Structures are given as C-alpha cells and as structure tokens.
Structure 1
C-alpha cells in the first residue's frame, strides 16, 4: 500500500511530536472556540445555545477496507459521518476532535494523508479541529471522531417529535453508497484472484463517491432555515431508510405510510443494482451510509418544500395502531422491517 512513497517511521517523532507535526497548521475559525489544541482540554463558549455532541468509532476491516479506501478519503469520511449526526439534530457543527490508533505498518506519510482528508472536510464545512489523541493499536487502524455543535433549544429536532399527519421527507437520493460498496467489493475480489487485472469502475463515479466520500447535508439544514421550516423530527440515514423510519416511529410512538414509488433513487444506483441482481428499493431501505436526512414536517409546510428538487416527500405519519407500512409500486402493503447494517457483525 505504501511502496511508492518514502516512509518515515512514526517512532522517530514520538506521540507528542506526531501530534505537533499533524496539527501545526490547524487554525481556529469559530467564535465559540476559545482554546483548541495545545492544552489539557479545549475551551468552548456557545453563549445561549444548546450544545450538541456526537461520537463515532471507525475500525479497520469492520467499517472500512484499506484495499480500496484511499487514506485521504478515509479521513474525510470519518469527519463527514460525525458532522451528519449534528445536522440530524437540526444543529450547526462547529468543532471536532480527531483521535487515531495505528499499528507499526503505517508510516508518517500515511497518517498525514488521513489528517489531510480530515482537515479538508473541516475547512469545507467551517469546523475547527480542537483536539484528539494518538495511540498504538494492535488491531489495525482505529479512528474516533467527536463532533460538537449548537442550536437554539426551540430549533433542535429530536427523533421523538413526529406527529400524526406530518409529512415524511428525505433529502437527496438513497441506496447509492450500498451499491457503490458492492461494486468495490466485486473489484476487490477480482483483484485478489488476479492482481494483473485493473479495477473497472468506469462510468460509476457517482456511486463509488457515495461510498468513499459522502457529504454531510449541511446545505439541507441551511435550506430548511431559509424556508422557515423546523422539522418535528429528524435522523440521518446511516443504517438504511427502513431502520431510520422505525427509529422515528418508535421514538415518537407513531405509525407511518411510506410509498415505494416516492423513494428517490439515482439512475446509476438503479441500473447498477439491477446489474448485481439486487432490488434497488431494498438497497435504499436496508443499504445505509447515504448520510441523507430523513425528517418530518407539518402538512402546513408542504407548499414550502414541494418545489425543492433535493427534498422528496415519501409518505406521512399515522396513528400508532395503523402500523408502519410501505405501499409498493403495485399497491401491495408491506410491513417496514429494519434489515440495516449490524455493527457487531463483520463485513462479509
């Protein structure tokens, strides 16, 4: 993996030297960041806003495969999946901490690539890197990111706020990340069987990028604020649409009607799923890692979203006794079941 670069053993720097080397160009841009890297703890001041905090852990060979995940993309994605949790609360992400555990197989240059990707994500989303840690790891690469943000109390969107009659909405399109993963896994198997065969990803850029370089939907939060819409509930689509719908319904003690024909699918996702013999709808329902935003809004706000190309109304909220159902394109009614990714099962 690192044969084409000059290697620097990280032991030459030591832990504190490594942290200093990786963070020497970090600058703080958020007014709420009073103190960042360089002391025992960061100091933040959100003066009047509620603070939002979320943490994610990414483990080599569980959450990512370095045989096809570029290190810079990995750093970028590690930040994105965390920022998505803040946006899923209708909040503004403002800071992150970035911690990494690594084995001796990683030279300094590899770690620099990971941090470069993370810092690109921070700069793009206006987020400060304010701390973190480095450690040796006996089990491969480990990345832990904590994201911090803020919101006015009345603007925070919990999973538990959906009301009967609310519209069920989702941003962007779904299933692309999962289908992109299937494509990458297929090409990995072909390569392992014959290393002389180069990966064939031509024309599949969109779904590959959906898997390797997802984008948290800060733009949707900005759009909702511009439209003067406060979602009654919200969650990000990390484990598949079906799982996230059930999270909202269970937390809010409501039912729902989801319409299959309304689920947004990109043509490339649809076509590639078919090539793999997969049902595109199932990919959207159970695939995960799309990091779109699923949310509910009052019916009175329908006119505000109906012309928005990046927001799809895919169903509505019902009373609990009505169940949690999907109406298929053929008119059949199916119970919505969560079959999303299980973090406690190794990838196949």
Structure 2
C-alpha cells in the first residue's frame, strides 16, 4: 500500500457501502467529505470511551470495537456509535485493511451500533496495523446504587479471555504442542465472548452498584481499580476465580499469571448480597456464568482469604508473553 490516505474508491467499497444505520440517534452518518458524525440523544446522558489495540496483530477489528463498547457497558449505557482510526504500515495490503473493517462492522451489527466516522491512512510511523476505537453510548440519567461493605464482588465468564485468545493467535503452532484440541476450541471460542454489554445492562437492571471490565492488569488489576473507585477494600477468594485448564497451560508456558492477564469479555460486578442470586439466574438464562469471588470490606486493602496482600499489577503479563514470542522468532 502507498503512504497516505486510503483512496476514496477503496473507502467507498470497503467501508461506506457496507455501513448499516439502524440507530435513530444517528443524524449524520459516515461518508466521503463528512468529517464528523452527528447524534441526538434527546436529554439522556452521553457516555464516551476510547482505547487503542497495541498488543495484538490479529483480530484487530473485533478487539477494537469490544474494548471500547465494554467500557461503555460498565456505566450501564447502550453503545450507539463507533469512530475508528486505522493506521497501516506501507508493507501491508488492502486485504488486511478490509479484514479489520469487516470484523469491526460485524461486531457493530452484533451490538446494534453504527460506525459513524474515523480516519484511515498508510504511514511509515507504524510497523504493524494500529487501530484505535472511540465508542459513544447513551443512558438514562438515573442515580445508581452505592457500594457498601458486605457487598459481593462477582465476576462473569472466566479469567484471561482476551489475553489467551491473543496468545493463541500469535503463537498457535507452539501452543498446539501443549494444548488439547478441546482446550484450543475453548480458547478460540473466546472471540465470541469479548463483549460485556449484555451483562452490563442486566447488572445495572438488577441492582449492581459498580461495574468494571477486566482489561489491562487482568483480574487483580480490575479488582484494584474497582475497589479504589468504591472507596473500600476487598477480601478475595482466589480459588473462586474461574481459570480454564488451557489458560493454566498457556500461563505456565510463558511464566505469567492468569490473574494478571488482560481479559476483555469478563466483567467485575459489585452487588448487594440480596441481589446476587437473582442476577446470577438472569445471566445464566443468557448463557453467561457469574461467580462470587470476594466481599467488599471497610478497610482499604486487597487481601486473599489467607491474609496475603494482593498487589496492584505494574504491567499486564500479555506484554511479557509477547516479548518471549518475539524473541523466539
């Protein structure tokens, strides 16, 4: 691909002709010569989040949409619109660009969201495709429940969802040596579990006070951030954190922890004990697992049931594993 903006013809064929616009909030959609989308939320709260995808080199469109939409879901908001920035290195080809767009549009369709704008170009400022997403959501201006000591800390799905998927895609030939076919199928299935939008809506509906998607820093990083926002501490039951056997093997291969591995697709939820069972049942009806993994406490520390301190992760273990993979190639 030549350095510079993607041609208008290619933009029309690869993006604009494929965009569907089911949202009534979208007043001005994306198109040639249009530099900004226009939305009308009719008095509801406007929620916005942005994130780049820097660790992965595969599945970029899928990841880009979900990481930002998940942030919107933690506020109990409905993701409405997506803006996407894609920087491609000169060595890449148009097919790679189209794959990113097609993945993003497919995820938008699943979530009922519109791609309303963004930017794309070929530049030697990057050595691999770089994708950054911004998602805009809306929600009713309602006062949420307030967290309190004794509330349950619960977790949906399992640890390491995004990290395990990225590492399998990046180092599949090596990991196929140590994983069973069933474990590979399980981890490959994570691509359909990256969204927390559904559990975010249900959690707010059934009394959750605070939500947090498990991104960089993994489960332990997420617990620290959620506890900090709540103003309280947490007793954590490590044994209750769901860790799949395939993830255990992957972590052993790279000498990393499943608790410190990025896990977009899993949500941490603070909820009163009186509402936990109802939420668990409602999520199970949608095929989403929920596990109580801790309890909120007054003292501002994060400890396990044996009294050991759980430290705030300094960096996500995904990057350590990716560095090892790079060194072997």
The alignment's TM-score, normalised by the length of structure 2, stands at: 0.82
Q: 2:226 aligns with which of 248, 260, 275?
A: 248
Q: Which residue of 2 aligns with 1:266?
A: 244
**Structure 1 residues 112 and 229: alpha-carbon distance in aligned structure 2, compared to 1, 3 A threshold:** same
Q: Which residue of 2 aligns with 1:119?
A: 105
* Structure 1, unaligned runs of 5 or more: 1-8, 192-196
Q: Deviations over 1:78-99 (max 9, x none)?
A: 1111111111111111110111
Q: Which residue of 2 aligns with 1:164?
A: 149
Q: 2:295 aligns with which of 316, 320, 337?
A: 316
Q: Which residue of 2 aligns with 1:206?
A: 186
Q: 2:10 aligns with which of 3, 6, 18?
A: 18
* Structure 2, unaligned runs of 5 or more: 324-329
**Pair 1:43 & 2:38 matched:** yes
Q: How well do the aligned residues superpose, as a CA RMSD in angstroms?
A: 3.1
SS in 2 for 1:304: helix
1:326-345 matches, within 5 Å, as 326-327=304-305, 332-339=306-313, 341-342=315-316
1:163-202 matches, within 5 Å, as 163-184=148-169, 186-187=171-172, 202=181
Whether the 8 Å CA contact 1:253–1:320 is kept in 2: the answer is: no
**Structure 1 residues 170 and 36: alpha-carbon distance in aligned structure 2, compared to 1, 3 A threshold:** same
**Structure 1 residues 142 and 94: alpha-carbon distance in aligned structure 2, compared to 1, 3 A threshold:** same
Q: Deviations over 1:122-157 (max 9, x none)?
A: 111111000011123212221111101011122668
Q: Which residue of 2 aligns with 1:84?
A: 70
Q: Deviations over 1:277-302 (max 9, x none)?
A: 868xx40x211134311110122213
**Structure 1 residues 345 and 277: alpha-carbon distance in aligned structure 2, compared to 1, 3 A threshold:** closer
SS in 2 for 1:41: coil
Give the whole-Å Cα distance in 2 for the aligned partners of 1:48 and 1:84.
23
**Structure 1 residues 12 and 233: alpha-carbon distance in aligned structure 2, compared to 1, 3 A threshold:** closer
In our comparison, the structure showing a higher alpha carbon Rg is 1
Give the whole-Å Cα distance in 1 for the aligned partners of 2:18 and 2:168.
37
Give the whole-Å Cα distance in 2 for the aligned partners of 1:306 and 1:96.
30
Q: Which residue of 2 aligns with 1:149?
A: 137
When the two structures are aligned, how many residues end up with a matched partner? 310
Moved more, 75-84 or 305-314: 305-314
Q: Deviations over 1:271-323 (max 9, x none)?
A: x35863868xx40x2111343111101222134135454111111111025x2
Give the whole-Å Cα distance in 2 for the aligned partners of 1:164 and 1:136.
52
Q: Which residue of 1 aligns with 2:327?
A: none
